[in-house]
């Protein structure tokens, strides 16, 4: 069983549309799917025209007088497609859980005990990083982060990735994420530029399939249907079907990659005490984007090497083991050495790399 949360604290980036239509495509591929609506706004519930007195609130709350099990609230939508609805009362759960120990694991506990033979459980998240979203990240092994290529912002994503990292470390929970371009407008040149930027940042973390803007997706949601029951030949239906094939293709992969990741993490943990924190900084007040790349990150220009703007300067903290490293800055695409650092060495291409020596921590 694969548990996938569809998460992004930004509203309107395509979470609910993805949750509904990906669930429907997986079901059409003969996978048994449960869609859990974990948003108090209950858009997935209303987008599938489901009415119900009981909701996921009755499953997660300990205070409700009307306690229910997950199986008791589930509604069947069509072949292979079940839904656990939400309702506005779910918004009170945040406060209700505030003082409780283990509050971030409530949904996980429910799903641990839940053996109903689903191939996939998809969780539609609310547009914030509150306790419900954290429950969804904790319960899932995979996260799909839908982003809009029309107004892509990395800041919000950094925060979300930070939370995923925290859940991984603090709760010792294996969870991986992938980014989905969920609202691509091919009429705008701007969208292609943003898509390039997203590709550079996320590389293999980006789904190869993208979802184009298609008004039928909106219409279907307004009619209380998924796209295959509304117009199965439209572009939106094709896009979500292709996405589901991409997800199905690595059905066997997660088990392997998670085992590998577990081993990696053990190795990392053993290594971590020996790492020292190094802060790279460069002044480039006019620059739009700056990276620090070196042999410690395989000279890779991506999310992990991107520097953060700070008072006209750019900074990046990196944990490094003791040793000598070569590095350079990439300022708006130009590779330059660190002018504030006199230590340099010529590289095989005839230009200079800056050099840094890290001494191990004694602890």
Ligand X SMILES: Nc1ncnc2c1ncn2[C@@H]1O[C@H](COP(=O)(O)OP(=O)(O)O)[C@@H](O)[C@H]1O
By residue count, the chain amounts to 363
Nearer to Mg ion, 43 or 225 (CB): 43
From 12, 102, 162, 360, residue interacting with ligand X (rule: CB under 6 A)? 12
From 151, 170, 218, 245, residue interacting with ligand X (rule: CB under 6 A)? 218
At 153 the three-state DSSP class reads coil
From 5, 7, 9, 16, residue interacting with ligand X (rule: CB under 6 A)? 16
Sign, Cα dihedral of 116, 122, 127, 132: positive
In 3D space, the residue among 289, 297, 335, 331 whose CA is nearest the CA of residue 317 turns out to be: 297
From 2, 10, 15, 225, residue interacting with Mg ion (rule: CB under 5 A)? 15
Nearer to ligand X, 135 or 214 (CB): 214
By CB atoms closer than 10 A (0-12, 13-18, 19+), residue 19 is: buried
| Closest CB 233 distance from ligand X, rounded Å | 16
214 sits near Mg ion (criterion: CB under 5 A): no
d(CA 83, CA 25): 14
Strand bridging mode 120-124 / 2-6: parallel
From its phi and psi, is residue 267 left (phi > 0), alpha (psi between -120 and 50) or beta?
alpha
328 sits near ligand X (criterion: CB under 6 A): no
What sections of the chain are H helices per DSSP?
A: 15-28, 43-47, 56-60, 70-73, 93-97, 106-112, 131-139, 154-170, 189-202, 215-222, 227-230, 235-249, 253-271
| Closest CB 198 distance from ligand X, rounded Å | 15
Candidate ranges 149-157, 206-214, 296-304, 325-333; the one touching ligand X (CB under 6 A) = 206-214
* 41-80: contacts with ligand X (CB under 6 A): 43
Nearer to ligand X, 111 or 213 (CB): 213
Nearer to ligand X, 235 or 315 (CB): 235
* Per-position x/- string for 146-185, each x denoting binding to ligand X as judged by CB under 6 A, each - no binding: ------------------------------------xx--
From 2, 10, 31, 43, residue interacting with Mg ion (rule: CB under 5 A)? 43
Strand bridging mode 352-358 / 344-346: antiparallel
16 sits near Mg ion (criterion: CB under 5 A): yes
221 sits near ligand X (criterion: CB under 6 A): yes
d(CA 319, CA 133): 29
**142 and 2 in contact (C-beta within 8 Å)?**
yes
Sign, Cα dihedral of 262, 139, 2, 251: negative
17 sits near ligand X (criterion: CB under 6 A): yes
Chain residues in the site for ligand X (CB under 6 A): 11-17, 43, 127, 182-183, 211, 213-215, 217-218, 221
Chain residues in the site for Mg ion (CB under 5 A): 15-16, 43
């Amino acid at each position: 069983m694969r548990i996938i949360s569809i998460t992004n604290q930004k509203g309107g980036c395509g979470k609910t549309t993805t949750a509904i239509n990906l669930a429907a495509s997986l079901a059409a591929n003969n996978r048994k799917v449960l869609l859990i609506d974990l948003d108090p706004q209950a858009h997935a519930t209303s987008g599938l025209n489901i009415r119900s007195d009981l909701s996921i609130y009755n499953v997660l709350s300990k205070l409700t007088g009307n306690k229910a099990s997950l199986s008791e609230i589930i509604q069947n939508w069509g072949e292979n497609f079940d839904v656990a609805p939400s309702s506005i009362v779910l918004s009170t759960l945040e406060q209700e859980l505030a003082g409780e120990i283990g509050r971030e694991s409530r949904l996980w506990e429910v799903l641990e005990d839940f053996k109903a033979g689903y191939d996939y459980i998809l969780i539609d998240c609310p547009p914030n990083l509150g306790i419900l979203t954290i429950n969804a990240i904790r319960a899932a092994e995979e996260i799909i982060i839908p982003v809009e290529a029309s107004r892509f912002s990395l800041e919000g994503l950094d925060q979300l990735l930070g939370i995923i990292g925290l859940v991984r470390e603090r709760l010792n929970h294996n969870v991986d994420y992938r980014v989905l371009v969920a609202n691509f407008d091919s009429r705008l040149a701007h969208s292609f530029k943003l898509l390039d930027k997203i590709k550079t940042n996320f590389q293999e973390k980006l789904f190869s399939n993208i979802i184009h803007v298609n008004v039928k997706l909106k219409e279907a949601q307004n009619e209380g249907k998924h796209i295959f029951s509304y117009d199965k030949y439209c572009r939106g239906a094709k896009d979500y079907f292709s996405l589901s094939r991409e997800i199905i293709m690595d059905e066997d992969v997660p088990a392997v990659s998670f085992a590998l990741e577990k081993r990696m993490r053990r190795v990392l943990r053993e290594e971590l005490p020996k790492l020292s924190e190094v802060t790279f900084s460069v002044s480039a007040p006019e620059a739009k984007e700056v990276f620090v790349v070196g042999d410690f990150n395989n000279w890779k220009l991506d999310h992990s090497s991107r520097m953060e703007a700070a008072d006209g300067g750019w900074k990046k903290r990196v944990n490094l083991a003791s040793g000598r490293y070569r590095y350079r800055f990439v300022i708006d695409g130009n590779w330059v050495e660190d002018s504030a650092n006199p230590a340099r060495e010529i590289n095989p291409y005839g230009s200079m790399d800056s050099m840094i020596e890290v001494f191990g921590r004694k602890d």
